[in-house]
């Protein structure tokens, strides 16, 4: 089974999120957005998850009037929390299976 990945070009992402190419470059520099392909800034391609982080980052920047460094820190914390939530869910499933074996 092959998982399909939604791919978004840099131009599509800028248009969809209403950000300039310069801001998107800033987001990549701060590791908020992570291109999955492309060698230069005009060739970048993002997956759906990357596009969601761009949306979240732009909202944090705009709504809370945070600079990009602060947004980067928040996004990093949010990513860590998502990872911990996934791990916690998996551990709960394992525990439930283990307890059900008794």
List residues bridging with 46 in a β-sheet.
Answer: 8
Domains, the chain, in order of start with CATH, read: 7-100 (1.10.1660.10)
Q: Which tens digits make up the pLDDT trace of 26-85?
A: 999 999 999 999 889 999 999 999 999 999 999 999 999 999 999 999 999 999 999 999
Name the pLDDT band for 6 (thresholds 50, 70, 90). confident
Give the chain's mean pLDDT. 92
Structure tokens at 32: 């908020």
Q: Which tens digits make up the pLDDT trace of 85-98?
A: 999 999 999 999 99
Cα separation, 47 vs 7, whole angstroms: 5
Cα separation, 42 vs 66, whole angstroms: 27
99 with 58: CB under 8 angstroms?
Answer: no
pLDDT of the residue at 3: 59
Cα separation, 4 vs 86, whole angstroms: 21
């Amino acid at each position: 089974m092959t998982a399909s990945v939604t791919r978004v070009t840099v131009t599509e992402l800028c248009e969809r999120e209403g950000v300039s190419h310069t801001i998107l470059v800033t987001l990549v520099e701060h590791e908020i957005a992570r291109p999955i392909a492309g060698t230069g800034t005009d060739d970048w391609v993002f997956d759906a998850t990357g596009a969601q982080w761009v949306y979240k980052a732009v909202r944090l920047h705009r709504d809370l009037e945070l600079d990009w460094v602060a947004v980067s820190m928040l996004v990093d914390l949010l990513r860590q929390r998502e990872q911990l939530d996934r791990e916690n869910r998996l551990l709960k499933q394992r525990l439930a299976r283990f307890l059900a074996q008794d």
